[in-house]
Structure 1
Amino acid sequence: MSVIKKKKHVSKKNKKAWRKYCDIKDVEDFLEDQRLEERIGKFETKPDSELFVVDTAGDEKPEVTDVKPLSLKQKKRALLNQTPKCFEVLLPTSKVQDPNAKRNHVNPVGTKPTALSKLTQKRRFEKGAYVKKVELVRKNKKIALAKKRKAKEIEKTFKKNLWGDELPEVKGIPSTLCDDFVSQEAQLHNVLPEKRLRPKPPPPKTVATRAAIETPHPGVSYNPSYQEHQDLLQEVVQHEEKMMKKEAHLNRVTTKMFSKVTAQDKENQWREEMSAGLPQPHNPATAPSDEETDNEYKAINPPVKNKKKDHKARRKQRERIEERERLKREKIEKKKITDIYKLRKLQSSISAKEKLQAELQAKRTAKRQFISATAVPALNAHKPPVREPDLVDPTQLSGDLRNITTNTNLLRDRFESLQRRGALAASKLMMKKKKRVKSYFKPGHKVTEQDIEKYVQKMKGKKDPKKTVIKK
């Protein structure tokens, strides 16, 4: 016996209550079926060939043949002709037609030109910005046509596989992926590894060629002439003066900027700064005596009298102001006359200055081009070492190869030469600081007084005995 539930009466005065207590499942199912029919079509409109299948085999059982299972490679190759799962979302599934076939195009907000935008466009047109843009478009079109022509010339080379499939299939890209919305990365991702395209390596960087061994100065010879040795000596002197000037400049802008103060002056200055604003102690030497004050009261801020200027003082003040203005105007007029006579001189000085600036600019441009053409490629952040001028002391000049003494290291010279020519990356000498190891005395039950005395004497013999710690 089924129990009949009592109908529950609830209030439905709010929209929330209607949603909670109303059963609209049948309406939702009907609407879902209607949307499904709109997407895939109704059964009445579909032909019989899509709904029914004609059974031509009958009850005959097919012959079972031994089928060799496909390998993993063959399975992957069979999947190439299918559309990938990631691109199935992009394919259209709905069959709902647009209700308004003749839909008007509506411009988005902000596309309508305003008065300010029209004025800006007019100014740009007068300046010639649009003419430059048109010229740039023409230039880009010419470059694109040249690239296309060059690509066609490359295609004329007989490198195609005449006995294979189409070009995408030869490269390993399936024809199902050769669509407009499929990116090149996605195409290459679905290509088999053995047919995947490899990117071309970048071309090698051009390195400025330099001589392996730089020609040394003639004054470096073991038996140079007097003039050549003096020329080399002059170059070394100029280099040393330049380095001394640089060192003096660094010393001037760092160490000598700060004045030296003794410890006593520093303490007095600190005491004076810290005691600023505090009540000073009574000093009878600096205190005013009774004789000077004479027991007379004097205010710190005496009263000010509001003394008015009379007519004569105001007239004199007005006359002084007018005279000052008259002299100022006369000076301006005089300067105008002198400037007119100076026009020719100013014109000549301006033209001379412009000529000098043009010459300097040409020199800078030539120097910049020379440096860029002969610059060493930047292989890392460090700069190659600058070559120091070689010099043989006059007392060490021997005159023959037997008694000559070498001043440079051949291995180091070749290593720095490779760095200056850009064959090796410039390196930086890193010096590690040695840690100061503290020595300790580990006492034990076998240690005697003589061992302790020996250790104490050993520590006293060191340069810095304060660093040693002795455990007792």
Structure 2
Amino acid sequence: MSKRVSFYQSSNMAAARRLKRVVASQPGFLKLKSTSGSADSVSSRRKRVNKNKKKSWNKHSDINDVEDFLEDVRHQERTTGGLLSEKPDDSLFFLDVGQPKKKGKTSRPLRIDLILQHDSLIPPPKDVLAYQQPNAKKLRRIAQKAEQLAAKGVVPQRRKQLPSRRPADRKAKKSVTEANNNPDREYYDIWGQEYSADPWYLQQTGKKLVNRPEKLNEKPSVLPAVEVIAPGGSYNPDFFSHQALLREAHEVEVKKQKEEDKIERQVMVNKADTATEETILREQVEGLVEEENEEEMAPNEEEEDVAVGGIALAEKKTERQRKKEKADKIKEQQRLADRQRIDQHQQLFQLRSIKASIKQQEQGTKDKQKVRKAKQEAQKSQPRRLGKLKFQPQDLEVQLSDELAGSLRRLKPEGSVLKDRFKSLQKRNLIEPRERAKFKRRHKVKYVEKRAFREIT
């Protein structure tokens, strides 16, 4: 890398010296900066060093004169816009013909504007990206293709459709936006009917909203948000309403008791499977006493060897047998066709019974549809299974006859509003039934006997 840099520097120095010689050789080249330092360096005796290597060449080469020359050229370009030697005389000198006219007092620009002003006469570099056209190659290719088609006499599709387009109405006035401070302008009525554009236009422009599915508008359950308790649940109910509520609560408890009894019967051990004293004694003695086998072994009868005959080969059918089989086959087909024809004739006389059977099937189908619809309607008011747990209804809040209070002052509060709302959400299929999270111990409990306990024991 160092070799590449040194070579690049040496080539730059050579080019700079060449440029200096060319420009300095031109007549009338002027320098804006003094060259006293460079003259002193030239007058001094040059030190002789070995420059057979690039490293020593770069180290001992004096390029101050080249840098001064290039800096002077850059300074002239910044201040005058070019070299003074190339400027015409009219731009460098002027003719003094008298006292200049006094100009009026002009407003001076701000200091901040002077600082931000571009003071160099060198034009800024051309921004290539500003002149680039997007899809230039594609547009150029399209233009070339259009020129080729025009040379062949082919008319583009757009120009063919121009006569069929509706001409613009020149008499129609363009809408002029009114100023907000115009008191005569029309006011927007927030309660008025909204203007809706053409549905096709809204769909093509992407401004048309997607229709909301009707399924999302349906409630997950037809049950009301707040269910009113039965009249028997009042703090001071009448006798019959209270008895009806007690009967309902009794039926719920009886149903729960039956389910518990059913589970107990399934878990209960069968009496026939219980061990008796005899079976227990037999199990204990098993293997200690040798049992004599009283059954005598029957003599083994010698199996008679059955001579296996050779495989019977199918005999070749004769021509007479083949003809007979073919005739029997044709006769069987004819019999089946005659039977089918007779059945069709018989069905003509059974039209009444066939119609009755069809009506019966249609009625059965309608009955099944009614049952299915009734079942679906009943399921709308029932809680669905949304998770792994089934919905458990809340216990009825019932007070016995001796617990009834005659007034609200002596009434005992029962139930919980929060629990009632939570159960209502579960019943209306808004949230899934849940249970309290169980604590899972990460590590087993380790019991350690302390030293004091060991000393006592």
TM-score interval (norm. to shorter): 0.3 to 0.5
Larger radius of gyration: 2
TM-score of the superposed pair, with normalisation by structure 2 = 0.36
TM-score of the superposed pair, with normalisation by structure 1 = 0.35
